[in-house]
Chain A
């Protein structure tokens, strides 16, 4: 597609439930990043994929968070046993290669009630 696409735009879930957030990067971009943005703050890095592999997951807050990119294109961020503190905007970015200009999707606003 023309830009990075994220679905859903909004997700409301109950505490303890499992959620999946999807990111479809710009075609041909090999690098894919997930960020999380809390209210009033800048986005913070979660995980980086180069191709199919998670090259750097150092930003994931705990083992309830996991992400995959099985075919080197679409990525899914998975959150198990959601907590109210997980409520945030989740942003996906892609770039042609690591370190080149990053382009962001419109984000998924997750609310855990």
Chain B
């Protein structure tokens, strides 16, 4: 099946710093989502971005489907940004279910 690799696995930032998280995938996809998992386990939707660039406040994301990667940018980070960031893809090969395949996540810690 498709491989989804996220980097870096861990990231520690000082509050106010910027960061870029990367997601590489090994096959063509129908769509891609970015999530933030908070300390209680809830997956919060950040972006639904099969291609192109989107922005939402301090966050933005870019997916280059032809090169099989996506980037999540966090600017002016805040302590509340801490948590695990997941990239998830719906591979072309997933069949009728169109279920998501997740990467292993990036654990982000923002220090005050």
Q: Which residue of A has the minimal Cβ distance to B105?
A: A42
Contact residue among B40, B43, B48, B104 (Cβ-Cβ distance under 8 Å from A101)? B48
**Once bound together, how far apart are the Cα atoms of A55 and B98, in whole Å?**
11
Contact residue among A56, A102, A105, A106 (Cβ-Cβ distance under 8 Å from B100)? A102
Contacts of A48 in B (CB 8 A): 97-99
B56 contacts the other chain (CB 8 A): no
Contacts of A58 in B (CB 8 A): 97
Contact residue among B31, B48, B101 (Cβ-Cβ distance under 8 Å from A45)? B101
Contacts of B30 in A (CB 8 A): 99
- Does A99 lie within 8 Å of B42, measured CB to CB? no
Closest-CB distance, A91 to chain B (whole angstroms): 7
Contact with B along A1-33 (1 / 0, CB 8 A): 000000000000000000000000000000101
Query: Which one, B14-22, B61-69, B73-81, B88-96, is touching chain A?
Result: B88-96
Q: How many residues from A make CB contacts under 8 Å with B? A: 28
Contacts of A93 in B (CB 8 A): 100
Closest-CB distance, A51 to chain B (whole angstroms): 13
Closest-CB distance, B86 to chain A (whole angstroms): 6
B45 contacts the other chain (CB 8 A): yes
With contacts A41-B104, A42-B88, A99-B31 taken as known, whether A56 is within 8 angstroms of B43 at the C-beta atoms is no
Closest-CB distance, A96 to chain B (whole angstroms): 11
Contacts of A56 in B (CB 8 A): 95-97, 99
- Does B41 lie within 8 Å of A106, measured CB to CB? yes
- Does A55 lie within 8 Å of B96, measured CB to CB? yes
Residues 87-104 of A at the B interface (beta carbon under 8 Å): 89, 91, 93, 98-99, 101-104
Scoring A35, A41, A99, A107 by chain B CB atoms within 10 A of each residue's CB, the highest score goes to A99
Give the B-binding residues of A (Cβ under 8 A). 31, 33, 35, 37, 40-45, 48, 55-56, 58-59, 89, 91, 93, 98-99, 101-107, 109
List 8 contacting pairs A-B, 8 Å CB cutoff, sorted by A.
A41-B105, A43-B43, A48-B97, A56-B97, A98-B97, A101-B48, A103-B45, A106-B40
